[in-house]
Copies of this chain bind each other. A is one copy, B any other.
Amino acid sequence: MNTETTRTQIMQHAQRLVQERGYNGFSYRDISALIGIKTSSIHYYFPQKEDLLLAVVQQYHARWQAAVQAIDTSLSADAKLRAYVEMHRQTFCNTERICLAAALAAELASLPTDVRRAIQDIYGANEEWLAQVLEQGVREGSLCVPGDVGTAARSMFAALQGSLVTARLFNNSNRIKDLLQAVLTLRE
């Protein structure tokens, strides 16, 4: 069982390149050179570049969702939130990459409609998960959330996505957990 199929390698490199340089910042040639194949071989798996993009986005969404849902549901809200933020921080520290959805959302006007919808789905799913955790936190009293939890969840996810961007910009991964300060009643 070799998971390092050509198709897998293509998608891995494509995802990384989007996160580093954006959708318009890489070409089939880049990927072909990295893997050691010809660009025509990539077209065999993904006839158009947009096909590759959509496949990468959907795979990213599925994997991220699985990772989020792997967070122990029996945890307290503040522990869930810490685990969630730590997930982002760990991913960033290992790869120096921002979220795929954020990278693509920045160049929204140059993306096909189905990809835009897929990006909305990623944002929506994360905001929804966060809103539920915040609501739990309010119930428990483990989190300090002023105002509407839905609003706070959207704001928090935006902050997290934005902090990944600045963590890379300033080469400082500590920025990723900055948003915890406001919502955690206990100091770290």
Q: What residues of chain A have their CB less than 8 Å away from a CB belonging to chain B?
A: 20-22, 24-25, 98, 102-103, 105-110, 116, 119-120, 123, 144, 146-148, 151-152, 154-163, 165-166, 168-170, 175, 178-179, 181-182, 187
For residue A148, which residues in chain B have a CB less than 8 angstroms away from its CB? 181
A120-B166 Cα distance, complex, nearest whole Å: 9
Task: Give the shortest distance, in Å, between A116 (CB) and chain B (any CB).
Answer: 8
For residue A187, which residues in chain B have a CB less than 8 angstroms away from its CB? 147
**Cross-chain contact A152 with B22 (CB below 8 angstroms):** no
**Cross-chain contact B105 with A169 (CB below 8 angstroms):** yes
**Cross-chain contact B181 with A123 (CB below 8 angstroms):** no
For residue A123, which residues in chain B have a CB less than 8 angstroms away from its CB? 166, 169-170
**Cross-chain contact B181 with A152 (CB below 8 angstroms):** yes
For residue A102, which residues in chain B have a CB less than 8 angstroms away from its CB? 106, 162, 165
Known pairs A151-B181, A181-B148; A120 contacts B25 (CB<8 A):
no
12 contacts between A and B (CB under 8 A): A20-B109, A20-B110, A24-B24, A25-B107, A105-B106, A105-B168, A119-B169, A123-B170, A152-B181, A154-B178, A158-B162, A158-B178
For residue A179, which residues in chain B have a CB less than 8 angstroms away from its CB? 155, 158-159
**Cross-chain contact A22 with B107 (CB below 8 angstroms):** yes
Known pairs A146-B144, A148-B181; A105 contacts B158 (CB<8 A):
no
A179-B107 Cα distance, complex, nearest whole Å: 23
**Cross-chain contact A158 with B165 (CB below 8 angstroms):** yes
Known pairs A107-B106, A159-B158; A181 contacts B25 (CB<8 A):
no
